[in-house]
Structure 1
Amino acid sequence: MMRQVPTIPDNAPFNAAQRAWLNGFFAGLAGEGAASDAGATSVAPAEQAAAAQTWRDVDDEDVEYDWHDPAMPMDERMKLAADKPLELRLMAAMAQLDCGSCGYLCRSYAKALADGDDGDMGKCVPGGKQTARMIKQIMKDAGDEAPGAKGDAAGNVTGNGQVEVRSQGKAIVDEDGRPKYGRDHPFPAPTLAVRTLTGETSAKDVRFVSLSIAGSGMSYKAGDSLGVFPKNCYESVDALVRLTGFGGGELVPLPDGRVMTFREALIEWCDIDNPSDELYELLASHASSDEAKLLKQASEGLAVDGLVDEARVIDVMARFRSARPSPVKLVEALDRLQPRLYSIASSPRRYPDEIHLCVGVVRYMQAGRRRKGVASTFLAERLASYEPVPAYVQGSHGFAPPSEGERDVIMVGPGTGIAPFRAFLQEREATQAKGRNWLVFGDQHSASDFLFKDELEQYRDAGVLTRLSTAFSRDQDEKIYVQHRMLEHGAEMWQWLDGGACFYVCGDATRMAGDVDAALHAIIAEHGRMSEAEAKAYVKRMTDDRRYLRDVY
């Protein structure tokens, strides 16, 4: 007897990918255990899995989350998500970048936390302490909505019912027994070159870093990022160890089962930049009564006399000298050092065994202390000795040159935002793409901050780079930024856009990306002769068609 397989009608409220998945699902159910039924329809497991993945991807992309905007302040995002389910409130608390530094997208990381599949609430590096604190508060307030205690082979149940993921750092191998490198098992990439890109008179320090991935089995595409696991500065760690009153050689267990010395754990495992709420609680339990009250105040983000804004762990330990817990307790209370993502500045078509980065080095003085960016100074200073870099490739989510080589491309990348567009130009040259390329680059001074100047001018002279527009903000009395160059050339830029050009932006999310977005809307409204609402709808169509893509941080 032929089994009737139910199908989803075309007028049902599902898109094509959803209908395909549901039809495959029902077909699979109908075929299960009925292989002898003549004419019974079945779907191969691999095809079902692919369909399910497509549905999940499309479902995530089709749903519009009002708060999914990296420029939107936290309080506004939380208001928009106030009446939403737990996982969506968690998503709203994140940085909204979909950068992948956590190993997920914002939506999937939020789901993993809400379902209890991941208990590490500090993985959203771009969101920083603000996000970590908000996530912990949401989980605390969730009550019955939060997952119950559960665990699996990769996790251990903690006292509050959360899963503490304990990666053993074991290499995953492919079918031939070769290691597969990724976020949970980074490749120790040898350093090939480190050189300064900025001039001697520059107020900035930008480095070119080249790493080898030969023999790793890893591959990458133009538009991808490299995840780097940094190590803390030795000088900063030594200063912190001295402040604790311990010697640094004390043995401490790590959550992944390893045992390290206190000093090694502070270098390789612990986030010593951002004091965790658990650290404040630990210190309060060991401090004098007066200092315990102040620690409680500091843990709530309130000002404390003698403690600088954006205090680091060493500042907290220096301020509250009555609190001296053991090295084991200190390491337990500190957040884990998370990887940093850098846009890859090379194309595999030209450098299949190398990955290039463009790194802006962070250094500044605060309250008499010299501050350093953890990853940027690790790459800029420590790699002089050609120390291997634990790294993995993080694939982009659509941020890539168009597959149609004849399509025009507009790229806006000030400062180190030039990185992926160097890769794009290498890719477009290697593939002999016929479409035009327009780069809008900006920085402070042409003489000292024109990153990759010689390369870009060679591309322009060779015809690979059709237009090179620059905006050096400090070379004249009036500050000129990339958005001003866009508006200045608005009529021509509209012609490119109207002809189907893809528009890309890379760089700072908090200000630059918003200014560029406003300029894009203004150009479309003025030169496309549209109302504000029509221009907004046009940009929305560009986004839906993957013609407007941003890699912002």
Structure 2
Amino acid sequence: MNAISPVAGAFPGPAPTPMIPESAPFSPEQRAWLNGFLAGLYGGAGAAGSAAAPAPEPEEDFPWHDPALSLDERLLMAADKPQSRRYMAAMAQLDCGQCGYVCKSYAEAIASGAEGSLSLCVPGGKATQKALKALQAEAPAATAPAPTAKATGPAMVPIRVLAVHALSGEGSAKDVRNIVLDLEDSGLRYDPGDSLGLLAPNDPELVEACLRILGATGEEPVPCPDGMARPAREAFLTHLAIARPLDRTTDLLAGAAKDAKEAAMLRKLTDGEDDAEPQDADLLDLLEHFPSARPSLADLAASLPGLKPRLYSIASSPLAVPGKVELCVSVVKADRRGRVRQGVASSHLGFRAIPDLIEGEGHATPGDRERAITEIMPAYMQVSHFRLPEDPSTPVIMCGPGTGIAPFRAFLQHRAAQGIKGRTWLFFGDQRSATDYLFREEIEDWRADGTLERLSLAWSRDPGAKKTYVQDRMKESAADLWRWFQDGARFYICGDAARMAKDVDTTLREIAMKEGRMDADAARDWIVALARQNRYQRDVY
């Protein structure tokens, strides 16, 4: 961490006010808060009667913009703030871009009326949607900042899919794959901790089923989010999100429904009510379930969100695989309401893009390889805050069950390529040790050669064994974990935000209360302080 530097001349007298330099590893909001704190602390240090120079207008602080805090905690912190900031506190606080905004600009767009949908926050899900609706009901006429223009999205470049390798073993309940993509000539560069955004098309079979039930030929012109009109088939395949319609789509269907019961249920879906059916519906579900709801094809297309890139945590180091980037992808595939549902990007990457490479361990013949590298996907690189410490002697604790291992494989690959040993601790787990130990050979090699100092494994479905999760291993090693924190360790977590990350966060608080002898409030403040010091970093989704 860069040292705090005094700014000469900021205050007359012998005691200049220390300021956080712009090169320090803090966000603008964190730096503003710290500078304000230091100004308050040192403001009276000058000679008696000396007049301080006018302080610059401080940047606005957003203390609730912290994913380490629970939704209730964030809402409480913003309770006396303007309506747009209260909306912001209800977001998932990840600035992931999946909504087409960041948390602040999405909240301002809702407050100003520029954005009518309350269900854009993917990581926040139904909890965020309900909180936004409740806040909107409390102050429907609240004033807000001027509308913020919606982000146009990152510039994307084409990259090629090179290979797909099976990671989960035969008999696993999951289908996890190592995806290798070519970055040569793309201009894309990355560091461990960054994410790759990939724009995959919708499932062609789902597109055709939607067109059939609508009685459309697929050639009818419909509007797309970029303002262009395109044939319906092309729009549904590559421009519109039909796997996750928004509340404005269900609202449109409710208004078009000729059956009163269907209209009522669609309004429940719009409101995010728990008893509304069908839950987690795609467009085909809605069209099948509500046959009396048939708005015009153009209006239906206009209500659908634009198809957005999927972000994947990068699972490789550019030092280990120059010119390439690797991902660790769990292929989403589930039976629901009588048909198989597939993840848009995961299924495209896993088997639709290069079907010749998915047998066995993904080995390919020369002919398969030639076909494989014709698959091109638009991509962009998202630079992340998720970074290894600059000082390689800083202890690093990594918690990444399942595909959450991705950035930590990148971290360990990177350190191994540089010959850096020790002071690393990995918590990894999944269902079964025999089939779900992802990157097992590499991890055990790193453990053997000292790249990885400690390894804690947790298996929740091993035959005859007690269900064990990563947070259980953390509790078992509470005293050692606390010592690592006292030595300045950084803690990294990657994976599911709704369950695993919340459980790990709770466990960290419990460790602080037990080993640090803190009460609940102090443990919460300790977690927040870690996050503000970049010592608690989360890559959750």
- Structure 1 residue identity aligned to 2:493: V
Q: Does 1:95 align with 2:92?
A: yes
**Residue 401 of structure 2 aligns with which residue?**
414
Match of 1:72 among 60, 63, 70: 70
By how many angstroms is 1:479 displaced?
Answer: 0.6
1:126 matched to 2:123? The reply is: yes
Separation in 1, partners of 2:265, 2:113? 33
Structure 1's 279 and 509: CA in aligned 2 closer, same or farther, altered over 3 A?
A: closer
Cα shift at 1:420? 0.3
Q: Structure 1: which 5+ residue stretches go unaligned?
A: 1-5, 22-49, 149-161, 168-182
| TM-superposed deviation, 1:242 | 0.8
Could you tell me whether the CA contact under 8 Å between 2:82 and 2:144 is conserved in 1? no
Cα deviations across residues 404-439 of structure 1 (Å, max 9, x unaligned)?
011221111111110000010011122333542111
Offset from partner CA, 1:134-166 (integer Å, 9 cap, x none): 658867955361456xxxxxxxxxxxxx67759
The answer for the alignment partner of 2:411 in structure 1 is 424
* AA matched with 1:320: F
For residue 59 of structure 1, what is the amino acid of its counterpart?
Answer: A
Note if 1:454 corresponds to 2:427: no
Measured at CA, do residues 246 and 282 of structure 1 come closer, stay the same or move farther in structure 2, by a change above 3 Å?
A: same
- TM-score, normalization: structure 2? 0.79
Partner of 1:194, secondary structure, is strand
- 1:84 equivalent in structure 2: 81
Contact 2:319 2:417 in 1 (8 A): yes
**Equivalence for 1:345:** 315
The verdict on how the C-alpha distance between 1:278 and 1:504 changes in structure 2, with shifts beyond 3 A counting, is closer
Q: In structure 1, how many angstroms separate the alpha carbons of the residues matched to 2:417 and 2:214? A: 55
Cα distance in 1 for residues equivalent to 2:118 and 2:62? 24
Q: Which residue of 2 aligns with 1:263?
A: 233
Contact kept in structure 1, 2:169 and 2:434, CA below 8 Å: yes
Residue 343 of structure 2 corresponds to which residue in structure 1? 373
Aligned to 2:222: 252
CA 1:129 to 1:510, structure 2 compared with 1: closer, same or farther past 3 Å?
A: closer
**How far is 1:98 from its partner?**
3.2
Distance 1:473 1:13, change over 3 A: farther
Mapped to 2, the partners of 1:113 and 1:142 lie a distance apart of 11
- Pick from 266, 271, 293: which aligns with 1:295? 266
- Change in Cα spacing, 1:368 to 1:353, as seen in structure 2 (3 Å) is same
Q: Distance in 1 between matches of 2:202 and 2:433?
A: 33
* Residue 243 of structure 1, CA deviation: 0.8
Query: Which of 516, 519, 542 is the aligned partner of 2:504?
Result: 516
How many aligned positions are there? 486
Determine the structure 1 residue equivalent to 2:456.
469
2:196 corresponds, among 204, 223, 226, to 226
- Two-structure CA RMSD over aligned residues (Å): 3.5
| Residue equivalent to 2:31 | 58
Corresponding position of 1:16: 19
Supply the distance in 1 between the matched residues of 2:520 and 2:268 (Cα, whole angstroms). 46
Amino acid in structure 2 at the alignment position of 1:345: A
Question: How far apart are 1:497 and its partner, in Å?
Answer: 2.3
> What secondary structure does 2:292 align onto?
coil
| C-alpha contact (below 8 Å) 2:85/2:104 kept by paired residues | yes
SS of the equivalent of 1:448 reads: coil
Change (3 A) 1:192 1:502: same
Q: Does 1:320 align with 2:274?
A: no
Contact between 2:254 and 2:293, CA under 8 Å: does it hold in 1?
Answer: yes
What is the match of residue 44 of structure 1? Answer: none
SS of alignment partner, residue 190 of structure 1: strand
Seen in structure 2, the aligned counterparts of structure 1 residues 203 and 293 have a Cα distance that, compared at 3 Å, is: closer
Change (3 A) 1:547 1:286: closer
How far apart are 1:351 and its partner, in Å? Answer: 2.5
CA distance in 1 between counterparts of 2:479 and 2:272 reads 48
Verify the 8 A CA contact 1:95 1:126 in the aligned structure 2: yes
- Over 3 Å counting, the alpha-carbon distance change for 1:326 and 1:116 in structure 2 is closer
Give the aligned residue type for 1:208: N
Q: CA deviation at 1:57?
A: 6.2
Q: Which residue of 2 aligns with 1:145?
A: 143
CA distance 1:295–1:104, change in 2 (3 Å): closer
Letter in 2 for 1:452: F
Q: What letter matches 2:32 in structure 1?
A: D
Distance across 2 between alignment mates of 1:337 and 1:452: 32
Q: 1:378 to 1:121 in 2, by over 3 A?
A: farther
CA 54–534 in structure 1, closer or farther in 2 if over 3 Å, else same = closer
DSSP-derived class of the 1:405 partner:
coil
C-alpha separation in 2, matches of 1:533 and 1:293: 44
**2:211 and 2:449 mapped to 1: Cα distance?**
55
SS in 2 for 1:338: coil
Counterpart of 1:407, as a letter, is T
Q: Is the 8 A contact 1:347 1:427 kept in 2?
A: yes
Cα deviation digits, residues 38-68 of structure 1 (max 9, x gap)? xxxxxxxxxxxx99x9755623798453474
Spell out, residue by residue over 1:419-466, the C-alpha distance to the aligned partner (whole angstroms, 9 max, x if none): 000010011122333542111110111100000001111111221111
Whole-angstrom CA distance in 2 between matches of 1:513 and 1:72: 11
Residue aligned with 1:381, SS: helix
Match of 1:204 in 2: 174
Cα distance between partner residues in 2 of 1:269 and 1:61: 44
Structure 2 contact 192–410 (Cα < 8 Å) conserved: yes
1:283–1:112 CA distance, 2 compared to 1 (3 A)? closer
Deviation at 1:325, TM superposition (A): 2.7
Match of 1:28 in 2: none
What is the CA-CA distance between 1:94 and the residue it aligns to?
Answer: 1.5
Say whether the 8 Å CA contact 2:159–2:182 is kept in structure 1: yes
**1:260–1:219: structure 2 CA closer, same or farther, 3 Å change rule?**
same
The alignment partner of 1:419 has SS state of: helix
| Partners of 1:405 and 1:433 within 8 A in 2 | yes
Matched-pair contact (CA < 8 Å) for 1:122–1:335: no
Moved more, 450-459 or 253-262: 253-262
Instruction: Give SS of 2:196's match.
Output: strand
Work out the percentage of aligned pairs sharing the same amino acid. 45
**8 A Cα contact 1:363 1:372, kept in partner:** yes
C-alpha contact (below 8 Å) 2:332/2:346 kept by paired residues: yes
Q: Distance in 1 between matches of 2:34 and 2:164?
A: 38
- Are the aligned partners of 1:413 and 1:505 in contact in 2 as well (CA < 8 Å)? yes
What letter corresponds to residue 260 of structure 1 in structure 2?
R
Runs of at least 5 residues in structure 2 that lack an aligned partner in the other structure? 1-7, 36-60, 356-371
Q: Aligned partners of 2:77 and 2:254: how far apart in 1?
A: 35
SS of the equivalent of 1:511 reads helix
- Give the direction of change, closer, same or farther, for the CA distance of 1:277–1:532 in structure 2 (3 Å limit): closer
Equivalent-residue separation in structure 2 for 1:353 and 1:192 (angstroms): 12
Work out whether residues 194 and 383 of structure 1, in 8 Å CA contact, stay in contact via their aligned partners in 2: no
Distance change >3 Å, CA 403–CA 109, structure 1 → 2? farther
2:367 matched to which residue of 1? none
Q: Post-superposition shift, 1:489?
A: 2.4
> How far off its partner does 1:402 sit?
0.7
Could you tell me which residue of structure 1 aligns to residue 213 of structure 2?
A: 243
TM-score of the two chains, using structure 1 as the length reference: 0.78
Match of 1:403 among 369, 386, 390: 390
Query: CA, structure 1 residues 130+248, in 2 after alignment: closer, same or farther (shift >3 Å)?
Result: farther
